[in-house]
């Protein structure tokens, strides 16, 4: 848990200006600022023939809308801002938002892939690039990052997450917020919106929108730390989640929105509901009417209503009846106005469109960054007999599979503004990288069909080749929101295709393009090499080819545990000790499956090998408020430059409350040349050693602590230190 203080951005000048604007506003104008609508939602009333958008334009003209989203385009954004400037007295500009999850027009790897790079600074750069592109289209509010901890690959939105670990997610949360919040002056700034607050990723059965029931301990130890990092990094807003948390939906959850977020953390920004979440309070059964849903949300601390329109329809009446104090409305509006002031929208509400030359130059740099990010996101899971890297010197390659000549699915989920025509397919990437090697292609089968009609063409391509690359996985529609799965296998006839090709006896490399971990233990027997490539965005084909042919040595590591089968789910490394550990009949195990993962958290291979030695601490005991330094030497004993992600784990051996077997407390990604060594040090102090005790207090308890340093959560050398 972090012990730092939030970065304060609401200066006296900003607050005073917001108060001055507020003092001249009517109640309806105030509530309008708390109302956000979906520009893309445009049904036509069959009786009047009037479209929803026409009604929305009129509401904007009257100053009764504070924000819109799903509008993309500078010209349209400027037209709407002009409506306000020319027709309202207060001239409060719109705050235009959009889901900018992993890129805008330049689509980067999905967040789960970027997490595999174990490089938060890379995410900072991709987030900044995405915000710069969206800002040029009038979008000043990006709904990102998604920092829900997820331990369940059935949940489709694990693709948008940073994975299962609080520390890794927290480091990415901080970097993503800092990168996405540009501040280049008036009208040239953006706000981030970390989401979904809170515990959305722990939905029961991995089914999106489902119930979340968890202890306050798990909430505070696992779920909340990344959000605290986002707040401390200066996030200007946070989005409340759809789900209930322990019986109370998040947008009406005073404990989450006021007690923790405002009072404990000092958060100053906007709390926005998720899409239509106020309406869903009625569906949840905690509100019996629109008025009641409106009342519960505003009193719980939800500042902005996304899309339902409940605030605009009912809040003025509730205030006039005395059911909601106007001071609660004023507090929310002050925060909304302050963010708009911070972004410079009052000084410059209009979008400044870059010149064609500047836009082209920026786009070229973003494409280069996309290739860099995609390469770092790739994880090598298996490489028997040094199947990889492939040779460019005359050997022929068969490229087979439904994701080989595919430009759509590598974009991944939540890539609304990406263009499939700009995606480099795996087949194209291999053809450009293959050098003198000839390339044979056959699709083999479609993504989800059980038809084997294309098998013979695939087998013929494989027979003509020395090695085979199989491009397998999921369509982009199979992960993301409302895309939960009960099977973690390859859809359609893909497994049968693998088995048929493998039977030829040629060296086989399986490239997995997916939005989630897949459970494919059988693939270990059929493929000599396995590459987890995820959905990598516009430079997918070039990045994968860079790895396959050895132009880039893979350094990615898994940010999430891979199971053998769905029955093991949820499976994660951060598990607790139990009174009956495996070992004997009456212990915690399965009678039909191993309890061990297929691939552990933090796992990944390289084309070189690393050796760990000289693990030491500068002292064997420290006081509860003391610090120690742990050192390790990592040597590249292979023949090429490689990147290693050095990971530090800790266990509190005896504590007043049960502790995880291991928890990640530090990591460092380092590039080391052949036959060279790197000496790394890690600081260990209160932030790493503290636990939440039985009284829910953050404390460092005396006793023995074991520290591991190694290449993943299942390997490493250890030392013991004592807190006295």
Alpha-carbon distance 431 to 183, whole Å?
42
User: Nearest CA to 309 among 42, 34, 61?
Assistant: 34
Element (H, E) at 579: none
Alpha-carbon distance 323 to 298, whole Å?
11
Structure tokens at 304: 């902005």
User: Nearest CA to 32 among 79, 74, 78, 94?
Assistant: 94
Q: Is 270 in contact with 237 (CB distance < 8 Å)?
A: yes
What are the φ/ψ torsions at residue 689 (nearest 5 degrees)?
-90, -20
Task: Scan for tokens 């051996």, then name that residue.
Answer: 653
Q: Is 99 in contact with 139 (CB distance < 8 Å)?
A: no
Please name the residues in contact with 65: beta carbons below 8 A apart, sequence gap of 6 or more: 32, 35, 36, 37, 56, 59, 94
What are the φ/ψ torsions at residue 250 (nearest 5 degrees)?
-60, -40
Structure tokens at 515: 């939005």
Tell me whether strands 95-98 and 67-69 are parallel, antiparallel or unpaired. Answer: parallel
Tell me whether strands 305-306 and 677-684 are parallel, antiparallel or unpaired. Answer: unpaired
Residues 39, 41, 47: CA angle, nearest 5 degrees: 120
User: Nearest CA to 397 among 433, 434, 426, 432?
Assistant: 434
Integer distance in angstroms from the first to the last C-alpha of the chain? 21
Q: How far is CA 127 from the centre of its chain?
A: 11
Helix ranges (H only) for 321-355 are 326-342
Task: Scan for tokens 């928890």, then name that residue.
Answer: 663
User: Helix 120-135 vs helix 356-377: angle between axes, to the nearest 10 degrees?
Assistant: 150
Helix ranges (H only) for 109-159 are 111-116, 120-135
Residues 497, 500, 501: CA angle, nearest 5 degrees: 85
- Among the listed residues 274, 303, 305, 417, the single catalytic one is 274
Tell me whether strands 677-684 and 628-636 are parallel, antiparallel or unpaired. Answer: antiparallel
Alpha-carbon separation of residue 701 from 271, 553, 653 (angstroms): 36, 43, 11
Give me the sign of the Cα torsion angle 216, 714, 640, 537: negative
SS3 21: helix
Element (H, E) at 563: none
Q: Give the bridge partners for 442, in sequence order.
A: 400
Residues 147, 403, 152: CA angle, nearest 5 degrees: 30
| Number of neighbours of residue 382 by Cβ within 10 angstroms | 18
Of the CA atoms within 13 Å of residue 200, those in its CB half-sphere come to 26
496-535 CB burial, b ≥16 within 10 A, e <16: ebbebbbeeeebbbbbbbbbbbbbbeebeebbbbbbbbbb
Residues 264, 268, 271: CA angle, nearest 5 degrees: 95
SS3 365: helix
Alpha-carbon distance 126 to 370, whole Å?
8
148 is catalytic: no
8-state DSSP, 113: H
Alpha-carbon distance 431 to 427, whole Å?
6
By annotation, the residues acting in catalysis are: 274
């Amino acid at each position: 848990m972090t012990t730092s203080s939030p970065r304060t951005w609401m200066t006296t000048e900003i607050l005073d200006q917001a108060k001055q604007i507020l003092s001249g506003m009517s109640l309806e104008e105030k509530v309008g600022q708390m109302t956000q609508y979906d520009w893309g939602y445009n049904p036509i009333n069959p009786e009047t023939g009037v479209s929803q958008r026409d009604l929305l334009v009129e509401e904007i003209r009257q100053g009764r809308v504070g924000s819109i989203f799903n509008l993309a385009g500078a010209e349209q954004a400027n037209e709407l801002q002009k409506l306000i400037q020319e027709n309202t007295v207060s001239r409060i500009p719109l705050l235009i938002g959009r889901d900018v999850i992993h890129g805008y027009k330049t689509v980067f790897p999905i967040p789960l892939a970027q997490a595999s790079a174990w490089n938060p600074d890379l995410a900072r750069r991709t987030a900044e690039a995405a915000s710069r592109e969206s800002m040029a289209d009038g979008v000043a509010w990006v709904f990102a990052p998604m920092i829900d901890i997820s331990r369940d690959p059935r949940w489709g939105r694990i693709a948008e997450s940073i994975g299962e670990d609080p520390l890794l997610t927290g480091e990415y949360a901080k970097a993503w917020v800092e990168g996405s919040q540009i501040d280049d002056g008036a009208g040239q700034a953006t706000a981030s919106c970390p989401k979904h607050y809170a515990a959305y990723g722990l939905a029961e059965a991995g089914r999106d929108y489902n119930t979340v029931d968890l202890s306050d301990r798990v909430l505070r130890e696992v779920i909340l730390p990344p959000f605290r990092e986002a707040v401390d990094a200066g996030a200007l807003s946070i989005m409340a989640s759809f789900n209930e948390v322990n019986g109370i939906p998040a947008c009406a959850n005073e404990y989450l929105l006021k007690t923790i977020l405002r009072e404990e953390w000092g958060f100053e920004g906007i709390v926005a509901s998720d899409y239509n979440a106020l309406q869903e309070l009625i569906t949840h059964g905690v509100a019996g009417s629109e008025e009641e849903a409106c009342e519960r949300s505003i009193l719980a601390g939800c500042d902005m209503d996304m899309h339902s329109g409940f605030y605009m329809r009912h809040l003025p009446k509730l205030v006039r009846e005395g059911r909601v104090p106007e001071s609660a409305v004023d507090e929310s509006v002050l925060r909304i106005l302050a963010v708009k002031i911070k972004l410079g929208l009052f000084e410059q509400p209009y979008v400044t469109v870059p010149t064609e030359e500047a836009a082209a130059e920026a786009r070229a740099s973003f494409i280069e960054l996309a290739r860099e990010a995609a390469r770092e996101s790739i994880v090598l899971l298996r490489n028997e007999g040094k199947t990889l890297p492939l040779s460019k010197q005359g050997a022929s390659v068969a490229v087979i599979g439904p994701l080989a000549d595919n430009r759509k699915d590598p974009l991944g989920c939540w890539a609304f503004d990406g263009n499939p025509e700009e995606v480099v397919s795996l087949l194209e990437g291999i053809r450009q990288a293959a050098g003198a090697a000839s390339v044979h292609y056959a699709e083999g089968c479609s993504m989800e069909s059980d038809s084997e009609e294309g098998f013979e063409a695939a087998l013929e391509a494989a027979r003509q080749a020395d090695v085979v690359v199989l491009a397998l996985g999921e369509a982009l529609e199979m992960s993301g929101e409302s895309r939960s799965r009960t099977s973690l296998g390859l859809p359609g006839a893909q497994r049968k295709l693998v088995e048929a090709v493998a039977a030829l006896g040629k060296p086989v490399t399986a490239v997995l393009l997916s939005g989630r971990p897949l459970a494919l233990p059988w693939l270990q027997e059929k493929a000599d090499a396995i590459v987890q490539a995820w959905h990598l965005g516009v430079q997918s084909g070039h990045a994968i080819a860079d790895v396959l042919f050895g132009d880039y040595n893979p350094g990615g590591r898994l940010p999430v545990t891979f199971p053998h089968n769905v029955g093991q789910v949820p499976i994660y490394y951060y598990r607790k000790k139990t009174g009956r550990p495996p070992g004997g009949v009456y212990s915690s195990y399965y009678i039909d499956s191993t309890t061990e993962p297929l691939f552990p958290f933090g796992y990944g291979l390289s084309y070189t090998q690393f050796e760990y030695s000289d693990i030491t601490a500068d002292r064997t005991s420290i006081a509860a408020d003391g610090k120690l330094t742990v050192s390790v030497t990592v040597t590249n004993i292979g023949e090429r430059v490689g990147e290693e992600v050095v990971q530090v784990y800790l266990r509190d051996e005896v504590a007043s409350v049960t502790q995880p077997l291991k928890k990640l407390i530090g990591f460092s990604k380092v590039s080391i040349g052949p036959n060279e060594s790197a000496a790394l040090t890690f600081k260990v102090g209160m932030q790493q050693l503290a636990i939440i005790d039985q009284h829910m207090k953050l404390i460092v308890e005396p006793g023995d602590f074991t520290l591991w340093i190694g290449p993943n959560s299942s390997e490493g050398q250890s030392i013991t230190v004592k807190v006295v």
